[in-house]
Amino acid sequence: MSELNTPSASGRSVAEAPCVRDPLHVPVAQLVRGGVIEGIHYGSVVVLGADGRVELQIGDIEVAFYPRSALKPIQAVALLRAGLPLDGELLALTAASHSGEERHLAGTRRILELAGLAEADLRNIKDLPFDPVVRENWIRAGRLPSRLAQNCSGKHAAMLCTAQLAGWSLDDYLDPAHPLQRAIAETVEDLTGQAVAQVTVDGCGAPLFSVSLHGLARAAARIATAPTGSPEARVAEAMREHAEMASGSGRDVAALMRAVPGLISKDGFEGVQVAALPDGRTVAVKIADGADRARVPVTAAALAHCGVDPATLTEFAGAPLLGGEAVVGRIRPTRALELLTAAPVSDAMYA
C-alpha cells in the first residue's frame, strides 16, 4: 500500500511494510509437569516503554503477521473517523470478539437499527456463540448458527452502520476496494506507523491486514494515550468501562482489564494479545502455535516487565496442571519472561 516514509491520511510518516518471511520465534512458555519440562510454546513478545521505545524484545517482532481480532480496536477507530456515531457499550461491542451472550446480541441489533438495517444485512459468517456455556445452552434450545451470534457481529454491524451513514454501498462492504475498507486500511497504517504487508480474509469474512507485532503495539499505545474526545480515546474509554461488552463474562481479557486500572487489552485467534496502559506502556504477544494456555501467562509476565504489580496478575500466571486431583505442574513463562517478584519461580514448586 504505502511506500517507505510516505505520509498516512493523518499526515504522519508511514514506514515500509514488514517483511513476509518465516518468523524467528523463540521459546516463551513451558509446560512443566513434576519438575520436568514436558512441552514448549514458541512465540514473540514486545514491551514498549511510555516513550514508545522497545524495552524488551523476545523473538521476532518485526516480521509480518496477522493480528486477527487484536486489530478490532484499530478498526473501531477507523469507523469513528469515518463517522460512526457510537460511544459507550455499543462502541465496546464494535471492538469486541464477543461471547454471544444476550446483551451482545441485543447490542448488535441496536447498532443495526441505528441505520435502519437488520441481521439479514450482515455479511459475516453464521456461527454458534463463542462462549462454551452460552453455546451449549444455545444448542440445547434448538437454536441454529446465526450471523448475530458470531463473535464479530458487533464489528460487522458497525461497519454496515458506517457505510449506510456515509452513503456507501452495503452489499459489498467487505470488499477490500470498498471505501470503508480503504478507510480502515489507512487507519491501520496510520496507527501502526507502517504500510500493510498483505491483505487476506479473516475468519468472519472481513479483510484482514498484516502488520508487525511491533506495529500492533504502537497502535495500541496510540489508542491508550490519545487526547480526550479523539476517536482513539473514545475507543479506549469504551473498552475500559465496558470490558465485558468488549469480550464477555468470564473471559480472561475482561478480567485483565478489571484487574489493571486503565488497561485496554484485546486478544485475537492464533495466540495474539495486545495490552496498553494509559501512559503508553504496552505489550504485544504472539504465540506461534496459537495456544491460549500460553497466551495468558506470557501476557501477564510481559505486563510485569511493564511495571504492573505482579500481585495483581496472579490469576493470569498460568493454569495449574493436574495429575489426578493433585496439582503437578503449570504453564510458566520462560526465564526471560518470569514475573518480576522478590522470590523467582522455582522448579521445586512443580516437583
What pLDDT digit, counting tens, does each position of 66-107 carry?
999 999 999 999 999 999 999 999 999 999 999 999 999 999
Give the separation between CA 258 and CA 255, rounded to whole angstroms: 5
Would you say how long the chain is, in residues?
A: 351
Q: What is the pLDDT of residue 337?
A: 83
**Nearest in space to 234 (alpha carbons), one of 77, 50, 108:** 77
Give the separation between CA 294 and CA 75, rounded to whole angstroms: 26
For residue 119, the one-letter residue type is E
Give the separation between CA 120 and CA 266, rounded to whole angstroms: 28
Q: What is the pLDDT of residue 8?
A: 60
Put simply, whether the predicted model's pTM sits higher than 0.85 gets the answer: yes
Give the separation between CA 298 and CA 30, rounded to whole angstroms: 10
Strand locations in the chain (E): 6-7, 13-14, 26-33, 36-48, 54-58, 64-65, 199-201, 207-209, 211-212, 264-268, 272-276, 282-287, 320-323, 326-333
Which cell numbers hold the place of 2? 504505502
Which cell numbers hold the place of 72? 478490532
C-beta separation of 273 from 293 below 8 A: no
- Report DSSP state, residue 146: B
Cα atoms found within 13 Å of the Cα of residue 164, Cβ hemisphere only: 17
C-beta separation of 233 from 290 below 8 A: no
C-alpha distances in Å from residue 69, one per residue of 31, 40, 267? 26, 25, 6
- In terms of phi and psi (left: phi > 0; alpha: psi -120 to 50; beta: otherwise), the region of 318 is left
Q: What is the pLDDT of residue 319?
A: 80
C-alpha distances in Å from residue 60, one per residue of 17, 254, 269? 15, 27, 18
Give the separation between CA 51 and CA 91, rounded to whole angstroms: 28
3-state secondary structure of 86: coil
Give the separation between CA 292 and CA 170, rounded to whole angstroms: 35
Q: What is the pLDDT of residue 349?
A: 35
Secondary structure element (H or E) that encloses residue 34, with its range: none
Which cell numbers hold the place of 111? 447498532
Which residues of the chain are under the pLDDT cut of 50?
A: 1-4, 340-351
